[in-house]
Amino acid sequence: MDRDSYNAAAEGKLEVFQNIIDHESLGLLLTPNKNTILHIYITALNSGSNSTITLAAESESTTLIGRSGSTTNFVEEILKMCPSLLRQANAKGETPLHIAARYGHDDIVEVLIKYCAQTLHDQDLEKGIEPVKKMLRMTNKEKDTALHEAVRYNHLKVVELLIKEDQDFSYSTNDAGETPLYLAAERGFKSVLFEILDKCKSPMHGGPLGKTALHAVVIQYDNADMVGRILEKYDGISREVDNKGWTPLHLAAYFNREKIIKQLLDKDREVAYMKDTNGRTPLHIAAQCGYGETMKVIVESCPDCYELVDNSGWNVLHFAIKGGDNDYLESIMEIIKENRSLSNLLNEKNADGDAPLHLYFKNTSLELQNSFIGHPRLDKKAFNKQNLNASEIASAVKHSSFKQIVQIQMALSGLPQRVIIYEDKITGWTSWGDWFKDINKEDRKSMLSILQKATEVHLVVATLIATVTFAACITMPGGFVGGEGLHPGSALLRRSVAFKAFVIMDTISMVLSSSAVFIHLLMPFLLDRDINDERRRMKLIVLAFILILGAMVAMGLAFVTGTYAILVPSFDLAIVNCIVGLTLFAIVFTVFGKYCDLFYHQILSFFEIM
């Protein structure tokens, strides 16, 4: 197409084409993409109906209406001169009707329909099809009809015109798998959607990836009106599944659409029992996403659907734990608390023999939850198919913090054991040293800071104990023998058994506390800053702590035996004093009894060969 013809078409200069003697040759005026003068003209108009445009040549300051009267006049006159342009497609298979529908020119669409009905009626009836319907059903190379184009760009007036002329056509999918109804649903064009549902007798509702228009509405919009109208139009659409086997209810559960879930279940509650290709139900999806209210809605409508498991035997509680968030687990535990019949979920095992408790300790992102771990119906001593209990599973996982290690070992103490796990067979930490080596640099720096403060406190405590025990030994209870005695300067109570016990305990306390002081004083000269020395420092600090603890116990015993030795004449007071003094050991044994397993296993690790 030459430049003058192209510009004339874009600006709607009708007289340029009227001067051409052979009007049929207008169909030969083509761009490289085979666009005709009608394609160019309609594309150049402003989008929307009854558009008027300013011509490209601003110097002329002439509008299309000034030249041609209206936007439709140019189209009408060109079609009179060359009727074949009505259905002539460009290189993409697009007719002028496609272009007019795309840009919302309902006045031009109306002209094209009327002209088609008037001029081609007799010709097409001989072929057994009405001319207008034939034009409306023409598709481009992507299998889009004019209705596809009008719906895609939300041109309601154009949609009304097209449907009015061909209400019986079902409008199949294009190459992308989209039907006009699916496009309207996916893009949230409510008025267009309702127009198609109301006026088309049996429009197809399919979309890409096996989805339907109902899937599209659930995914994109929480719109109960659109969902309700689609459910009214199509019986059984709520049971149709996409390529993953997901029903609209699966999607509603995934996107937490509570209102839509109620609509779908009110229409057909059986969809709550439908599984996807992996065997997951909508309740499983909601549990993994942690939507507690959504789960309640589903369970209230279908209380027995909680019994369903997926292809791997996972139940709802497995999926809640898989979600990896404490709130997810808390949500389902509240439901179990409200519905005791759901407590069967607590101990059900999957195909690998893992109960929710086993899976719980495989997940390092979860913190211990009393509502789950402390549930009276939870079987903490269960084994999986590998004959591992929850404690053994937890020990094979590298947890993120020392706090988690402590909590887990406290919660799972005293479990029966079937398999003996050696250190070279375990993938997790077998000692604090392994854990300390594995933590990142920032955490290690923080831990060393804490150890430094602990070292300072330990040194002060050890020094005080050493000082007190030294002073107690120098100033013996009961006093000393005078110069006239058999052994001048010796202790008066040296023959008392309680006094002898005092001396021994005081000496032990003095030795242990002095040893702890020695370790802390010598530590800076023994250690460097690499990881191995950091581990060694940690072990030395704990060794000093054990010595200080022993010194405290010995000092307590020294106090009790020493006061008893000097209070023997007042026996009642001596007994009361012993009882009160020995409460120290009750406190110590209570603390150690509660954390005995933790202290036992971890203290042993400090004395490994370095």
Residue 334, domain member (yes or no): no
pLDDT reading at 553 higher than 70: yes
Per-residue confidence (pLDDT) for residue 405, from 0 to 100: 64
> Alpha carbon 336 to chain centroid distance?
22
Residue 483, domain member (yes or no): yes
Q: Which of 135, 166, 197 is the last residue of a domain?
A: 166
User: What percent of the chain has a predicted confidence (pLDDT) above 70?
Assistant: 78
Domain ranges, residue 1: 1-166
Q: Which of 120, 148, 166 is the last residue of a domain?
A: 166
Give the model's confidence band at 605: pLDDT under 50 very low, under 70 low, under 90 confident, else very high.
very low
Per-residue confidence (pLDDT) for residue 401, from 0 to 100: 57
Residue 172, domain member (yes or no): no
What is the residue-averaged pLDDT of the chain? 81
Specify the higher pLDDT residue, 312 or 19: 312
Which one, of 598, 593, 563, 568, lies nearest residue 578 by Cα? 563
Worst-scoring range by mean pLDDT, 352-361, 408-417, 419-428? 419-428
pLDDT reading at 501 higher than 80: yes
**What 3-state DSSP class applies to 227?**
helix
CA distance 200 to 312: 44
CA distance 118 to 115: 5
Q: Is residue 126 packed enough to be buried (19+ CB in 10 Å), middle (13-18) or exposed (0-12)?
A: exposed
Indicate the DSSP class of residue 48: S
Q: Is residue 477 packed enough to be buried (19+ CB in 10 Å), middle (13-18) or exposed (0-12)?
A: buried
Helices 71-81/37-44 angle, 10° precision: 180
Residue 574, domain member (yes or no): yes
- For residue range 344-394, list pLDDT tens digits in order: 888 999 998 999 988 888 876 666 666 788 888 888 888 988 888 888 888
- For residue range 448-493, list pLDDT tens digits in order: 677 677 778 888 888 888 888 888 777 777 665 655 656 565 666 6
Q: Which of 114, 143, 166 is the last residue of a domain?
A: 166
Which one, of 117, 183, 177, lies nearest residue 143 by Cα? 177
HSE-CB at 361 with a 13 A cutoff on CA atoms is 26
Specify the higher pLDDT residue, 430 or 296: 296
Any bridge partners for residue 63, and if so which? 54
Q: What is the pTM of this model?
A: 0.68
- For residue range 427-440, list pLDDT tens digits in order: 444 444 554 555 55
571-600: burial string, b at 16+ Cβ within 10 Å, e else: eeebeebbeebeebeeeeeeeeeeeeebee
Which one, of 206, 186, 204, 184, lies nearest residue 195 by Cα? 184
Which one, of 518, 85, 467, 130, lies nearest residue 526 by Cα? 518
Cβ contacts of residue 241 below 8 Å, gap of 6+?
Answer: 210, 247, 274, 276
CA distance 515 to 521: 10
CA distance 610 to 574: 48
- For residue range 48-77, list pLDDT tens digits in order: 644 434 333 333 333 333 333 477 899 999
CATH of the domain at 111: 1.25.40.20
- For residue range 517-526, list pLDDT tens digits in order: 888 887 776 6
Phi and psi, residue 212, nearest 5° = -115, 175
Worst-scoring range by mean pLDDT, 233-242, 319-328, 533-542? 533-542
Worst-scoring range by mean pLDDT, 225-239, 365-379, 521-535, 569-583? 521-535
**What 3-state DSSP class applies to 169?**
coil
- For residue range 121-166, list pLDDT tens digits in order: 555 554 545 889 999 999 999 999 999 999 999 999 999 999 999 9
Maximum CA pair distance of the chain? 155
Give the model's confidence band at 218: pLDDT under 50 very low, under 70 low, under 90 confident, else very high.
very high
Region of 61 please: left (phi>0), alpha (psi -120 to 50) or beta.
left
Residue 431, domain member (yes or no): no
Look at the block and give the residue holding tokens 């010598």. Answer: 522
Per-residue confidence (pLDDT) for residue 546, from 0 to 100: 85
Question: What are the angstrom distances between the C-alpha of 467 and each of 464, 548, 561?
Answer: 5, 13, 19
Per-residue confidence (pLDDT) for residue 594, from 0 to 100: 63
Worst-scoring range by mean pLDDT, 2-11, 36-45, 427-436? 427-436
- Rounded to 5°, angle at Cα 233 from 227 and 236: 80
- Rounded to 5°, angle at Cα 573 from 570 and 575: 110
pLDDT reading at 185 higher than 80: yes
Number of domains into which the chain is organized: 2
For range 170-181, the mean pLDDT: 93
For residue 175, which amino acid is it? D
For range 542-547, the mean pLDDT: 84
Residue 534, domain member (yes or no): yes
Residue 537, domain member (yes or no): yes
Question: What are the angstrom distances between the C-alpha of 409 and each of 263, 404, 419, 545, 597?
Answer: 47, 9, 18, 21, 8
Residue 443, domain member (yes or no): yes
pLDDT reading at 420 higher than 80: no
Which one, of 215, 273, 286, 203, lies nearest residue 244 by Cα? 215
CA distance 24 to 29: 10
Indicate the DSSP class of residue 212: B
CA distance 155 to 51: 14
pLDDT reading at 19 higher than 90: no
Specify the higher pLDDT residue, 441 or 110: 110
